Amino acid sequence: MTNETLVALVGFPNIGKTTLFNTLTGKNHKIVNYPGSTVDFGVGSVQKEDTQWTFIDTPGIVSVDAISSDELVTIDALTKTNKLLNTAKTKPDLVIYFITSSQFERHLSLLKQLEGYKIPVMVLLREENGAPAIEIDTLGALIHAPIYSFEEKKFDSTHIYEMMKKALNTPITYDQKDCFDPYKWAQKISEATITQTSTSSDFDFDTILLHPITGMAIFSTIMGAFFWTIFVLAAPFIDGIAALFDQAAIMVQTHVSTPVLADALANGLITGAGSVFVFVPQIFILFFGIGLMESSGYLSRGATILDRPLSFIGLNGRSFVPLLSGCACAIPAMMATRSIPGKKARFLTMFIIPLMTCSAKLPVFGLLLTLLFIDSPSHAAIGLTAIYFGSFALASIIAAIAGRLIRLESNQDTFHIDLPRWKMPNLTQTFMNAFEQSITFLKGAGPIILGLSLFMWGITTYPSPDHSIAQSIGTFLNPLWAPLGFDWRVGIPILLSFSAREVFVSGLMVTFAITSESTADLTHSLIHATLPNGLPLFTTGSTIGLVLFFMVSMQCISTLAIAKKESKSWTFPLLITVFYICLAYVLAFLSNLVF
């Protein structure tokens, strides 16, 4: 008979819980943690002899009094386990608690607070170079828990299993005398067990990186370099992928003999798949960059540097990571807002995340900027930079205004963050994580985009390309696009882009490939496209209007789903949808009118 043992990994943030979790569970775990930090629990099981060990990786906490949603997840994992997992148990059978020798006293205080949950504890003590030396036997006798100590990253999982078994058989004992003040208790224990004080005298890089002048300069450089890499480094890969799919489409059209099938495959399926795959380089670079900043410890420095400016518009330094992730994808960004203390700052951050230039918007902007600056690619790059800055500026204005209007308690709006030690990032690990996240993205977005591309192809081909269903619907809805300067050929892709923004580009490919003679070059077709009255379809005004429309409009079903989940109500997703669509429409209309 198999018995299940539930083990929760608990400790301060950035202490190595996830590293241990990954080592113990190998690949048998469910959650992909996006860069930023663990904001949800992770679960993984391992079968050893007759026991099934189920490990729960929890977000870091500093105290049992949770003030943010990610901390609440940890408390729930310890008190309402049955609500999180498929188990009858209300609490885990065992806690693995993390202590480091450099922050020994702080970590001990939390250990004392955990006693209240009456769960057996095994302590994992990481002995760091230059940190105080600790008398482990004395410590074990004082805290009544088995201790496994190891140096830096060298731990041996066989030993950990032995210690866990020992901890499960250790009766829970309390030191009744000074149970009440965990801080005095921790101080007393550390005085009794530290044999040699800290010898660390490393040069502190933070004196440069958080310096009023050099710190700000380095921050701007890193952010600038990060976004520059996204455009410049990804470009050849994107061109390569696009060319590959073009070749595939041509091959299919020449080799498949049934015309309908060839057309469906080339213009529906392959075009659709291509429009998904072209994102991968940018998504990958975004996740890789954020991963590097996280594993080196720079993300918390960035949050510190941005706390002051962000607090002016009602946000928090901790909004930095969600907003940065929002430049990759709004979904992990919405989840990352859990670490923001205070309802108001969290709400405002979630409110402006859809305005960030996520990777799904990039192909749309790429196409529109090529139309605007057909002769000078360098101007297109400037245009994209302007879009990024414009989005941040607009987001700031909206947050500042919304912050004045909404009434949510803001007394929990505090900012504090631990700066982890500087580390050389593990390149292989970061690379693998970014790869896994890109795959997750492809799996999530791929089927929707593919399905819609085929759908698009269907409604623009039947009953006949000259009088298709899409054309009928689009013409019927003409009053909707006319103020923006467009007809059904742009209107239908806009309509479909409400499921996912990137569909816009493949949608245009389908509508224009059919209505124009030149099927090879989309840009060419678009530039020469005219309205029935002979005027060009893509004017400066209407194209800038489209750029503004895609900057602002809320067009991602997955974002709405996660917004509903994170806000636990329908009001919030409905609010952002209506607000951003109306704003986007008005801006696009004004642009078409003015330019």
104 binds other proteins (CB under 8 A): yes
Binding segment for other proteins among 97-105, 163-171, 321-329, 441-449 (CB under 8 A)?
Answer: 97-105
For the segment 237-256, give every residue that binds other proteins (CB under 8 A): none
State how far the Cα of 480 lies from the Cα of 502, in Å rounded to an integer. 21
Binding segment for other proteins among 76-84, 88-96, 102-110, 442-450 (CB under 8 A)?
Answer: 102-110
Residue from 6, 7, 24, 62 in contact with other proteins (CB under 8 A)? 62
State how far the Cα of 177 lies from the Cα of 433, in Å rounded to an integer. 47
Partners of residue 194 on adjacent β-strands: 134
Of 305 and 470, nearer to other proteins (C-beta) is 305
212 binds other proteins (CB under 8 A): yes
Binding segment for other proteins among 207-215, 244-252, 349-357, 480-488 (CB under 8 A)?
Answer: 207-215
Q: Helices 214-232 and 280-296 sit at what angle, rounded to 10 degrees?
A: 160
321 binds other proteins (CB under 8 A): no
State how far the Cα of 135 lies from the Cα of 195, in Å rounded to an integer. 7
285 binds other proteins (CB under 8 A): no
For the segment 409-428, give every residue that binds other proteins (CB under 8 A): 412, 414-419
Q: Alpha helices of 26-156 — where are they, by DSSP H?
A: 69-79, 81-84, 104-114, 136-143
Rg (alpha carbons) of the chain, rounded to whole number: 28
Bridging pattern class, strands 121-127 and 94-100: parallel
Phi/psi for 190 (5° steps) reads -70, -35
Go through 341-375 and write b for each residue having 16 or more CB atoms within 10 A of its CB, e for each that does not.
Answer: bbbbbbbbbbbbbbbbbbbbbbbbbbbbbbbbeee
Q: Which two tokens stand for residue 431?
A: 């690379």
Residue from 28, 48, 82, 183 in contact with other proteins (CB under 8 A)? 183
Q: How far apart, in Å, are the Cα atoms of 308 and each of 29, 199, 211, 218, 317? A: 38, 34, 15, 17, 7
* Shortest separation between residue 178's beta carbon and other proteins, angstroms: 14
Of 108 and 505, nearer to other proteins (C-beta) is 108
Residue from 31, 210, 448, 477 in contact with other proteins (CB under 8 A)? 210
Of 156 and 204, nearer to other proteins (C-beta) is 204
Residue from 20, 77, 99, 110 in contact with other proteins (CB under 8 A)? 110
106 binds other proteins (CB under 8 A): yes
- Residue 96 C-beta-side C-alpha neighbours within 13 Å: 30
- Residue 404 C-beta-side C-alpha neighbours within 13 Å: 6
Residue with tokens 């192809």: 457
Of 210 and 581, nearer to other proteins (C-beta) is 210
Bridging pattern class, strands 147-151 and 194-196: unpaired
Binding segment for other proteins among 17-25, 277-285, 306-314, 425-433 (CB under 8 A)?
Answer: 306-314
SS (H, E, C) 499-555: CCCCHHHHHHHHHHHHHCCCCCCHHHHHHHCECCCCCECCCHHHHHHHHHHHHHCCC
Residue from 105, 135, 175, 246 in contact with other proteins (CB under 8 A)? 105
For the segment 151-180, give every residue that binds other proteins (CB under 8 A): none
55 binds other proteins (CB under 8 A): no
Of 109 and 506, nearer to other proteins (C-beta) is 109
Of 110 and 470, nearer to other proteins (C-beta) is 110
* Shortest separation between residue 205's beta carbon and other proteins, angstroms: 11
67 binds other proteins (CB under 8 A): yes
* Shortest separation between residue 414's beta carbon and other proteins, angstroms: 5
DSSP state of 484: G
Residue from 49, 50, 65, 409 in contact with other proteins (CB under 8 A)? 65
Contacts with other proteins, 12-51, as mask; x by CB under 8 A: ----------------------------------------
Kindly list the residues in this chain that would bind other proteins in the complex (CB under 8 A): 62-63, 65, 67, 102-106, 109-110, 131-132, 183, 187, 198, 204, 206-207, 210, 212, 215-216, 300, 304-305, 307-308, 311, 317, 412, 414-419
